[in-house]
A = this chain, B = another copy of it.
C-alpha cells in the first residue's frame, strides 16, 4: 500500500485527524501495511510493544488468558479504531493478546515514530490522552457491569446500549462465545439468557440479527 493511501487512512482516523497533511505524510512513511488471516495472532501477551495498530479492515479481538486457560475478551476493535497504544506508552510488553477474527488489514506505526510525533505535536498528545481516558471509562463500566445483576440483566443492559436505548435491530458482530466473554458469562449461560428474553417476548432473533420488541421490558430487567 502506498504512503499516499496510508496517509489517507490516518486522515480518517479520529486520533490523527487533527494533524497537518504534512505531519500525516511523515507518519505514513514510517507506517507499514499488515494483513492477517482469520485466526492469526497480531501480537502475543508478553511480547515487547513494538508499536500500535490502526484497523483498516476486519476485526481484532484483544483478550487475556486466565491462569486456567480461559479467554477474557477486553475489546473488539473495528475499522477506524486503534490497538495497543497503551502498551507503547508504558514502553514495556503487550499485556494482552490480539487475534484477527476476520481477514484483517492493519496499519502498523512503530513505537519510536509515535512517541516522536507526540513530543512534537501537543494537540495529538491531548487527543491520545482523551482516547485512553475513554477506554479507561469503558473498562470501568465493564468492571461495574460484571458485578451487577444476573446474566439476563447484563444481557438486557448490553442490548439496550447497542440499540441506543430504543426499539430497533441489533446486529451481533461477533460470536456468542465472544459476547459471553465480554459479559463475563459462559456460552451456555448466554444462550439460555437469550432464550429467556425470547420466551418473555422482549426480543426476536434470527441468527445474528436481534430485534428489541420491548425496550421498557428490557430496562425493567437491568435492575
Contacts and interface: CB of A to CB of B under 8 A. Distances in A.
Interface in A66-96: 66-68, 70, 72, 74, 85-87, 89-91, 95-96
A136 to B, nearest CB: 5
Protomer copies: 2
A181 to B, nearest CB: 8
Interface residues of A, number: 48
Given A118-B122, A137-B90, A140-B74, A146 B147 contact: yes
Interface string A106-123: 000000000100111011
A149 interface: yes
B223 A90 contact: no
A16 to B, nearest CB: 15
A192 to B, nearest CB: 18
Interface in A114-143: 115, 118-120, 122-123, 125-126, 128-130, 132-137, 139-143
Consensus secondary structure, chain A interface: helix
A149 B68 CA distance: 7
B140 A64 contact: yes
A222 B67 CA distance: 7
Nearest to A135: B136
A155 B48 CA distance: 29
Contact of A66 (B66, B123, B139, B147): B147
A70 B115 CA distance: 41
Interface in A10-67: 64, 66-67
A122 B130 CA distance: 15
Contacts of A223: 67-68
A133 B68 contact: no
Contacts of A115: 126
Nearest to A124: B125
Contacts of A164: none
Contacts of A74: 140, 143
A168 interface: no
Contacts of A157: 67
Contacts of A130: 89-91
A217 interface: no
